[in-house]
Every structure is written in structure tokens, then in C-alpha cells.
């Protein structure tokens, strides 16, 4: 990590953000069935949680409608970090609790979280029920396949929406997400783009089944374009989100597992928030699974959590 970036050095900034993610309300306990990922997941969650703060500030100033978070691939609410025993808030709980402890700061009005796995859905909906009495946003956990369910969510052209697309691979049926996002000009998107997409597209002789999957994920897919260009075209010309901030998410040894990309509409006044995100990215791109594991320190078991 570089020693100083702006006001706060990277080390201090990252540790502060990790503490925010680890700050899980007392009524939410780890359970069997919580999803487990490598320490690199923290990079994703810091990026997302940081942008939620920015998004809420902007939406609060400019929106005449609702401030909505859509978690298309929601998970169970908590994430267990491999090799550390640490549990952190997953994306849906980050949204439910965004600015919760910061008096006077804006919160989401509504949080929708989709989850296809029945056990994770049950955990998530129980956790939303526990949190609902004390948080501002209306929390909705929705079971089933987001590819079908997302088209049932109606938003108005005045609503400001942060859409988080966090699949493990090529699960999204992107046309449905495009249709959803075009309901308002103010839908910002953060998406996890797995390195597996490039692997599938790089197979020298693509089978009809692979081609079908790739076309579902990227309706504009063409073998004559690089995957990076296809994805850029998808966001720019289909979602109409020209502005981009991207961070690589690396496991041990700087091996890229996925990219996390933020895409927003270009506005004439420029995008001052982009500077903040770029500063954050300059800290995050110095990290990998190893450095995060080191920061997280010694493991904690479910029993230790229960006794707290």
C-alpha cells in the first residue's frame, strides 16, 4: 500500500472501512449456511459500502423520488471470510444499515434483496425482520430467480436507484436488468464481473450451449470484439451509463478473481464523486487476499460469536 493518499493514508482508511463492515448489530448472529468467501471479498464490500454513502448524499440532494437499493444477488446478509473466522455485513445488510449510526445522514427508503438459495433466503429474511423495527428503509427479501423477479419491481423516473449485480458467474439474464434500469435515468450500477466470463469466452471452439449462456449475459456478445469492449459497449450503449470506475479484486498473489465496476450516467456538470471513488480505488488496488487476511488477524469461531 502507498503510504499517503489525500487526507488519510491507505492503511488507516482500509482499516476504518473494515471496522465498519465488521460492525454487525448484536441481534445478527452467524449461522450455518452463511456464505463463505476469500478475504478479497472485503475489497468488494468496501467499494460498495463507500459508494452507498456517496450515492445517498447525491440522491438526497437531487432526487424527487425514492432512494432505492436493489441487491440482485443478495446472499444471506452475513459473509464469513475464509481462513479468518471473521464475519462481515454482506451487501444487503450494508444497505439496510447504511448511515444508521450517522445522525442526520440520509438512508435508503427501500432495500430489495433477491436470493435463489432457500437457506440463504430464509436467513436473510429473518435478519431483515430483526432489523426492520430499528432501521429507516423498508426491507424486502425476495425468494427465487432475480432474472424473473426484477422485472416485477416498478420504479418511477424520479427514483434514484443503486443496482448491485453480484453473481458468482454468468447468472444474470442481462436484458431483464437493462429493461429494469431504463425505467429511470438515475440508476447507478455496481457489477461484479467474474474472470470466468473471459475464460468461457476464450474457449477456442465455443459450443452452442456456451454461446447461449454468453448471449444471455451479454446480448451484444460478438466473437470479433474483446470481452472488455463488449462489456463497455453493454454499459455505454444499452444501460446508457458512460462513466466508469473499476477496481480489480485479487486473491492471494494478486490473481484477479473478478472486477468490480461502477457505471453511472455522464452528466454535463462532471461527476465530483468520481474523484472520491478513484482515491479509494488507488488504495484498494494495492490489496489482495493476503494483505486483507493479515489485517483481519486471528480467527473467531461461531461459539465465540455466540458468547459475545
Ligand X SMILES: C[S@@+](CC[C@H](N)C(=O)[O-])C[C@H]1O[C@@H](n2cnc3c(N)ncnc32)[C@H](O)[C@@H]1O
**Binding residues for ligand X (CB under 6 A):** 35, 71, 73-75, 79, 90-91, 114-117, 120, 145-147, 166-168, 171
Q: How far is the CB of 150 from ligand X (least distance, A)?
A: 9
Nearer to ligand X (CB atom), residue 216 or residue 240: 216
Contact 161, 72 (CB under 8 A): no
Nearer to ligand X (CB atom), residue 106 or residue 167: 167
Torsion over CA: 33, 39, 44, 46 (sign): positive
Q: How far is the CB of 282 from ligand X (least distance, A)?
A: 23
Among 14, 131, 40, 21, which Cα is nearest to 87's?
A: 21
Q: How far is the CB of 270 from ligand X (least distance, A)?
A: 30
Nearer to ligand X (CB atom), residue 74 or residue 248: 74
Nearer to ligand X (CB atom), residue 30 or residue 74: 74
Residue nearest to ligand X (CB): 90
Nearer to ligand X (CB atom), residue 63 or residue 193: 193
Nearer to ligand X (CB atom), residue 63 or residue 68: 68
DSSP the chain: --S--TTS-HHHHHHHHHHHHH---TT----TT-EEE-TTHHHHHHHHHHHHHHHHHHHHHH-SS-EEEEETT--SSEEEETTTTEEEE-HHHHHHTTTTTSTT----SEEEEEE-SHHHHHHHHHHHHHHGGG-SSEEEEEES-HHHHGGG----TT-EEEEEE--SSS---HHHHHHHHTT-S-EEEEEEEEHHHHHHHH-SS--HHHHHHHHHH-TT--TTS-HHHHHHHIIIIIS---EEEEEEEEEGGGEEEEEEEEEE---TT--HHHHHHHHHHHHHTT--HHHHHHHH-S---HHHHHT-
Q: How far is the CB of 31 from ligand X (least distance, A)?
A: 13
Q: How far is the CB of 30 from ligand X (least distance, A)?
A: 13
Q: How far is the CB of 119 from ligand X (least distance, A)?
A: 9
Nearer to ligand X (CB atom), residue 43 or residue 245: 43
Nearer to ligand X (CB atom), residue 63 or residue 188: 188
Q: How far is the CB of 195 from ligand X (least distance, A)?
A: 14
Q: How far is the CB of 215 from ligand X (least distance, A)?
A: 17
Amino acid at each position: 500500500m502507498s503510504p499517503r493518499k489525500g487526507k488519510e493514508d491507505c492503511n488507516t482508511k482500509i482499516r476504518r472501512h473494515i471496522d465498519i463492515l465488521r460492525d454487525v448489530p448484536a441481534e445478527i448472529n452467524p449461522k450455518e449456511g452463511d456464505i463463505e468467501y476469500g478475504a478479497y471479498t472485503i475489497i468488494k464490500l468496501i467499494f460498495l459500502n463507500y459508494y452507498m454513502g456517496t450515492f445517498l448524499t447525491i440522491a438526497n440532494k437531487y432526487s424527487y423520488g425514492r432512494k432505492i437499493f436493489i441487491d440482485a444477488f443478495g446472499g444471506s446478509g452475513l459473509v464469513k471470510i475464509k481462513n479468518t473466522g471473521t464475519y462481515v455485513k454482506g451487501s444487503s445488510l450494508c444497505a439496510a444499515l447504511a448511515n444508521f449510526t450517522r445522525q442526520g445522514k440520509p438512508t435508503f427508503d427501500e432495500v430489495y434483496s433477491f436470493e435463489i438459495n432457500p437457506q440463504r433466503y430464509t436467513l436473510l429474511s429473518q435478519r431483515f425482520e430483526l432489523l426492520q423495527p430499528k432501521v429507516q428503509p423498508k426491507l424486502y427479501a425476495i425468494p427465487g430467480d432475480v432474472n424473473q423477479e426484477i422485472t416485477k419491481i416498478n420504479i418511477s423516473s424520479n427514483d434514484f436507484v443503486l443496482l448491485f449485480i453480484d453473481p458468482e458467474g454468468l447468472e444474470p439474464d442481462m436484458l431483464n436488468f437493462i429493461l429494469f434500469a431504463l425505467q429511470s435515468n438515475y440508476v447507478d450500477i455496481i457489477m461484479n464481473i467474474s474472470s470466468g466470463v473471459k475464460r468461457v469466452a476464450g474457449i477456442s471452439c465455443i459450443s452452442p450451449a456456451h454461446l447461449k449462456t454468453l448471449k444471455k449475459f451479454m446480448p451484444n456478445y460478438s466473437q470479433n470484439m474483446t470481452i472488455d469492449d463488449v462489456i463497455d459497449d453493454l454499459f455505454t450503449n444499452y444501460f446508457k451509463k458512460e462513466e466508469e470506475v473499476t477496481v480489480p479484486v485479487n486473491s492471494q498473489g494478486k490473481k484477479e478473481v473478478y472486477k468490480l465496476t461502477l457505471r453511472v450516467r455522464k452528466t454535463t456538470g462532471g461527476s465530483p464523486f468520481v474523484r472520491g471513488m478513484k482515491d479509494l480505488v488507488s488504495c484498494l488496488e494495492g490489496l489482495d487476499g493476503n494483505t486483507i487476511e493479515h489485517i483481519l488477524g486471528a480467527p473467531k469461531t461461531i461459539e465465540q460469536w455466540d458468547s459475545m
